[in-house]
Amino acid sequence: MNRDIATVGRTKEILEKYGFSFKKSLGQNFLIDPNVLRKIVSFAELKPGSGAVEIGPGIGALTENLARACERVVAFEIDQRLLPILEDTLGDYDNVTILHQDVLKADVRSVMTAYFEEDQDVMVVANLPYYVTTPILMKLLNDQIPVRGFVVMMQKEVADRLAAEPGSKEYGSLSIAVQYYTKPEKVMIVPKSVFMPQPNVDSAVVRLTKRDKPPVEVADEDFFFTITKTAFAQRRKTLLNNLTSGLENGKEKKEGILAILDSIHIDPGRRGETLSIQEFANLANALYPIFAEK
Give CATH 1.10.8.100 domain extents, the chain: 221-292
Q: What is the pLDDT of residue 3?
A: 77
2 — pLDDT class (breaks 50, 70, 90): low
Taking the CA of residue 18 as centre, how many other CA atoms within 13 Å lie in the half-sphere pointing to its CB? 20
Closest CA to 54 of 10, 7, 93, 1: 93
pLDDT, residue 165, reads 96
Cα dihedral across residues 30, 121, 147, 185: positive or negative:
negative
Q: How far apart are CA 159 and CA 201, in angstroms?
A: 12
Q: Give 129-138 pLDDT, tens digit per residue.
A: 888 999 999 9
Confidence category of residue 294, pLDDT binned at 50, 70, 90: low
The CATH code for residues 221-292 is 1.10.8.100
CA atoms within 13 A on the CB side of 203: 25
Given the candidates 3.40.50.720, 3.40.50.150, 3.40.30.10, 3.30.930.10, the CATH classification of the domain at 8-210 is 3.40.50.150
β-pairing, 149-155 with 203-210?
antiparallel
Averaged pLDDT for residues 239-265: 96
242-251 CB contacts, 8 Å cutoff, 24+ apart: 242/272, 243/287, 247/287, 247/291, 248/291, 249/291
Q: What mean pLDDT do residues 21-31 have?
A: 80
What 3-state class would DSSP assign to 108? Answer: helix
Segment 252-268 shows an average pLDDT of 96
The distance from CA 171 to its chain's CA centroid, rounded to whole angstroms, is 16
Q: How many CB atoms lie within 10 A of CB 80?
A: 8
**Low-confidence winner among 106-110, 263-267, 290-294 (lowest mean pLDDT):** 290-294
32 exposure class (CB count in 10 Å sphere: 0-12, 13-18, 19+): buried
Under the banding of pLDDT at 50, 70 and 90, the label for residue 83 is very high
**pLDDT band per the 50, 70, 90 thresholds, residue 66:** very high
Q: Report DSSP letters for 20-79, one per residue.
A: ----GGGT--EE--HHHHHHHHHHTT--TT-EEEEE--TTSHHHHHHHHHSSEEEEE---
3-state secondary structure of 211: coil
Please give the Cα distance from 63 to 54 (Å, whole number). 7
Q: What is the band of 28 on the pLDDT scale with cuts at 50, 70, 90?
A: confident
Cα–Cα distances (Å) from 27 to 23, 174, 177, 266, in that order, read 7, 21, 24, 42
Mean pLDDT of 34-49: 97
CB 205 within 8 A of CB 184: no
Decide if pLDDT at 29 tops 90: no
Residues of each annotated binding site: 29, 31, 56, 77, 102, 127
- Decide if pLDDT at 156 tops 70: yes
Q: Are 37 and 65 contacting, i.e. CB atoms less than 8 angstroms apart?
A: yes
- Which tens digit of pLDDT belongs to each residue from 208-234? 999 999 999 999 999 999 999 999 999
Give the Cα separation of 219 and 39 in Å (integer).
40
Which residues, other chains included, contact 255 with Cβ-Cβ below 8 Å and sequence gap of 6+? none
What strands lie across the sheet with 96-99, from one edge to the other?
96-99, 72-76, 51-55, 122-127, 149-155, 203-210, 182-190
* Residues 69-95, mean pLDDT to the nearest whole number: 96
Binding site as annotated, residues for S-adenosyl-L-methionine: 29, 31, 56, 77, 102, 127
CB-based contact 40:62 (threshold 8 Å): yes
Q: Are 203 and 31 in contact (CB under 8 A)?
A: no
R_g of the chain computed on alpha carbons: 22
Across 182-204, average pLDDT: 94
Report the pLDDT value the prediction gives residue 217, as an integer from 0 to 100.
98
Q: Where in the chain is the domain with CATH 3.40.50.150?
A: 8-210
pLDDT band (50, 70, 90) for residue 98? very high
Give the residue with greater pLDDT, 3 vs 209. Answer: 209
Mean pLDDT of 96-102: 98
